Amino acid sequence: MNSTFDLLIKNLETSHKDRLVWFQKNKNEEFNGWLPSYDEDKLLATKAKGIYKPKELKYALSIRMTKDGPYEDKIENKEENKLFTIKYFQENKNIRERDTEYTNLGLKKCMIDNVPIGIIKQLEKKPNSKYQVIGTGIIKKWENGYYHINVFDNQGEIG
């Protein structure tokens, strides 16, 4: 039987689907420096912005939580092998200007169409930067500048 995650990605473009599967399969993995590229010309995330919205996709692909970053992103109720939620602040501190940023529009489209996103978290800053793949999640709502994201468990379910 297919998981909820599998059902939500089945109709996506192949390059989008494959990269989301990479995030789900690499859940909890840690990488020194930066994430590997998915292939020669397909990135999983970007260092330039916290929200990665590839130009060839209709949706945002991933979010990056930055240690000591400008936004107060939060992981709530995280326990080993339990379901949890992330509150991820939009790009642009002025919440009235959310829809002026293409990255926010990509996340908004994910929320409306129930398309999962990949999630990474910075564990250590330069010069010995380290990142952890949190996995994938689904955006349940946007409120006061925060996207509320439910994270899939190892079986691709939310609860």
Bridge partner list, 147: 88, 142
**For the CA atoms of the chain, what is the radius of gyration?**
15
* CB-CB contact of 107 with 51 (8 Å): yes
- pLDDT, residue 56, reads 93
d(CA 111, CA 138): 7
pLDDT digits (tens, 9 = 90+) for 59-86: 999 999 998 888 888 887 766 556 789 9
Looking at the DSSP bridge assignments, the partners of residue 88 are 147
Model confidence over 118-138: pLDDT tens digits? 999 999 999 999 999 999 999
As given in the structure block, the two tokens for residue 121 are 């978290």
Residue 44 pLDDT more than 70? yes
Is the pTM here over 0.85, yes or no? yes
In this prediction, residue 151 carries a pLDDT of 96
Residue-level pLDDT at 22: 97
* Position 75, amino acid: I
- Domain 4-151: which CATH number of 3.40.50, 3.30.9, 1.10.3470, 2.30.280: 2.30.280
Task: Check pLDDT > 70 for residue 23.
Answer: yes
Contact 147, 87 (CB under 8 A): yes
Task: Specify the pLDDT at position 76.
Answer: 79
Please say if the pLDDT value at position 153 is more than 90.
yes
Residue 30: pLDDT band (50, 70, 90) is: very high
Q: Mean pLDDT score of the chain, rounded to an integer? A: 92
